[in-house]
Chains A and B, each alone.
Chain A
Amino acid sequence: MINKIFPTIADALADVRDGATIMIGGFGGAGMPVALVDGLIAQGARDLTIVANNAGNGETGIAALLAAGKVRKVICSFPRQSDSHHFDALYRAGKVELELVPQGNLAERIRAAGAGIGGFFTRVGFGTELAKGKEVREIDGHMYVYETPIRADFALVKAEQGDRWGNLTFSKSARNFGPVMAMAASVAVASVHKIVTLGEIEPEHVVTPGIFVQRVVLVEQEALAT
């Protein structure tokens, strides 16, 4: 019998190693899997590379992971925010490396990894600092930049409902990077607010099919960062 449901977050994250690359879903606070990130801090792995849209807000989630000194590098599109003080301080002190990626390139590079695509050409970023040194090609009269896939050892994703096969639904705009990150990681860990029986999610309403998800953990509705 397939059963991807793990009893605790500690069980689901037990094998994260130092130096791992970890994708973390969320756009600001929406979709940020705070409980899973807290579990990652408690688990203790360090020297991590984090792939996420932002570099933490306030004191929770990625901000707490950064503050705990667990992160070597952040790959993201939008680190600078009004309450990103933990990232800001570490970056200015040279204690965390930043790879800045346009948000659509970030999503597509993650998707490419999940889809077995060895990269792609995009117009986005051509002629800018963020495309410096990258291969370019003219296609149909426009200049395109070659972008490589981003894969990860783990993806931490906050979903809404999940079943023992790993089928997931999400909540509104909290979906954001969750589905593509689940595809691109060797081990995708989804926190869900509700575990349902097989078939309870309408097949037409499954957002992430279970093949992309290795572990599901029940987490009660979290207080979201405001």
Chain B
Amino acid sequence: MSTTTSPTYQRLTRDQLAARIAQDVPEGAYVNLGIGMPTLVANHLPLHREIVLQSENGILGMGPAPTPGQEDLDLINAGKSPVTLVAGGSYFDSAESFAMMRGGHLDISVLGAFQVAANGDLANWHTGRAGDIPAVGGAMDLAVGAKQTWVMMEHFTHQGASKIVSACSYPLTGVRCVTRVYTDLAVMDITPDGFLLVEAVAGLTIDELQRVSGVPIAAA
């Protein structure tokens, strides 16, 4: 199936998608933004809300990148890029950091994904291809540890396959762990009955969304 822009609707850009997610992060939330696309969400968090970002390598109250020349290589994020600390922030060791992540203390974990299944299964750590070196990092911890696990991803692979699926074909990161999916086409909750449409981009009908996704999506 084609992923080129349809005449009737436009896919969100990565920044538009990040802004859409940021809009749903409430005042006072403790949030972990996964490596890759989810880090973009930080740029769009509403300034009037106090939101605390956690980084798996031992930072609570992570701030934006430093101005050039001010980088401190002892102060990096999970993607190993230099960051800053906001007033009120703190440092701690890896066991304490993962206690925050695994112990249900984070309100929201935002992760990228290869695939999300209708039952909430997540695949995002390994392609399973022979010769690919597996690396998991904190992905499995973030998948099951937070109060809510949100996925941020493009709706289709580069080959045009839907990344929301009836069952994951890639190796699983977590079982029945995703609560909400944000793609460049739609926002969907995962319920005991499968995908539930929250909203779609302007001009995209639920019938068309189901057709391109190849999985049942219930109307809200």
A residues with a Cβ closer than 8 A to B are 27-31, 53, 77-81, 87-88, 91-92, 98, 100-108, 110-111, 122-130, 143, 170-180, 207, 224-226
B86 to chain A, nearest CB (A): 13
Partner-contacting stretch, out of B9-17, B67-75, B152-160: B67-75
Residue in B92, B101, B140 whose CB lies within 8 Å of A130: B140
A175/B135 contact (C-beta < 8 A), A30-B57, A104-B102, A226-B73 known: no
Report the separation of the CA atoms of residues A92 and B129 in the bound assembly, to the nearest whole angstrom. 13
Residues of B within 8 A of A31 (CB): 74
Residue in A92, A107, A173 whose CB lies within 8 Å of B131: A92
Residue in A102, A111, A173, A225 whose CB lies within 8 Å of B95: A111
A173/B76 contact (C-beta < 8 A), A88-B133, A91-B133 known: yes
Query: Which chain B residue has the least Cβ–Cβ distance from A110?
Result: B95
Residue in B91, B93, B137, B175 whose CB lies within 8 Å of A177: B93
Report the separation of the CA atoms of residues A103 and B55 in the bound assembly, to the nearest whole angstrom. 13
A110 to chain B, nearest CB (A): 7
A172/B85 contact (C-beta < 8 A), A78-B135, A88-B133 known: yes
B residues with a Cβ closer than 8 A to A are 55-59, 72-76, 80, 85, 91-95, 97-98, 101-102, 121, 126, 131, 133-141, 143-145, 171-175
Cβ-defined contact, B94 with A102, below 8 A: no
Report the separation of the CA atoms of residues A174 and B80 in the bound assembly, to the nearest whole angstrom. 11
Cβ-defined contact, A104 with B145, below 8 A: yes
A113 to chain B, nearest CB (A): 11
Residues of A within 8 A of B174 (CB): 126-128
Residues of B within 8 A of A129 (CB): 126, 171-172
B136 to chain A, nearest CB (A): 5
Cβ-defined contact, A103 with B137, below 8 A: yes
Give the 8 A-B CB pairs with smallest separation, nearest first.
A104-B98, A104-B141, A127-B175, A80-B135, A28-B80, A224-B73, A107-B94, A102-B140
Cβ-defined contact, B98 with A103, below 8 A: yes
Residues of B within 8 A of A105 (CB): 140-141
Residue in B58, B98, B121, B134 whose CB lies within 8 Å of A80: B134
Can you name 26 A-B pairs with beta carbons within 8 Å?
Answer: A28-B80, A79-B133, A79-B134, A91-B133, A100-B136, A102-B140, A102-B141, A104-B98, A104-B102, A104-B141, A104-B145, A106-B94, A107-B93, A107-B94, A123-B102, A123-B144, A125-B140, A126-B144, A126-B174, A126-B175, A172-B85, A173-B55, A173-B91, A175-B58, A180-B94, A224-B74
> What is the number of contacts between chain A and chain B, taking CB atoms within 8 Å?
146
Report the separation of the CA atoms of residues A94 and B55 in the bound assembly, to the nearest whole angstrom. 33
A77/B135 contact (C-beta < 8 A), A104-B101, A130-B140 known: yes
Residue in B76, B92, B126, B143 whose CB lies within 8 Å of A27: B76
Residues of A within 8 A of B134 (CB): 79-80, 98, 100
Report the separation of the CA atoms of residues A130 and B172 in the bound assembly, to the nearest whole angstrom. 10
Report the separation of the CA atoms of residues A78 and B137 in the bound assembly, to the nearest whole angstrom. 5
Report the separation of the CA atoms of residues A78 and B94 in the bound assembly, to the nearest whole angstrom. 14
Cβ-defined contact, A30 with B73, below 8 A: yes
Indicate the member of B55, B75, B101, B175 with the most A CB atoms within 10 Å: B175
Residues of A within 8 A of B94 (CB): 27, 53, 103, 106-107, 176-177, 180
Report the separation of the CA atoms of residues A171 and B75 in the bound assembly, to the nearest whole angstrom. 8
Report the separation of the CA atoms of residues A172 and B92 in the bound assembly, to the nearest whole angstrom. 8
Residues of B within 8 A of A173 (CB): 55, 57-59, 74-76, 91
Query: Which chain A residue has the least Cβ–Cβ distance from B141?
Result: A104
B30 to chain A, nearest CB (A): 16
Report the separation of the CA atoms of residues A79 and B137 in the bound assembly, to the nearest whole angstrom. 9
Residue in B56, B93, B98, B137 whose CB lies within 8 Å of A175: B93
A102/B135 contact (C-beta < 8 A), A108-B98, A128-B174, A173-B58 known: no
Residues of A within 8 A of B75 (CB): 30, 172-173
Given A105-B140, A172-B75, 5 new contacts (CB under 8 A): A98-B133, A102-B141, A130-B136, A173-B59, A175-B58
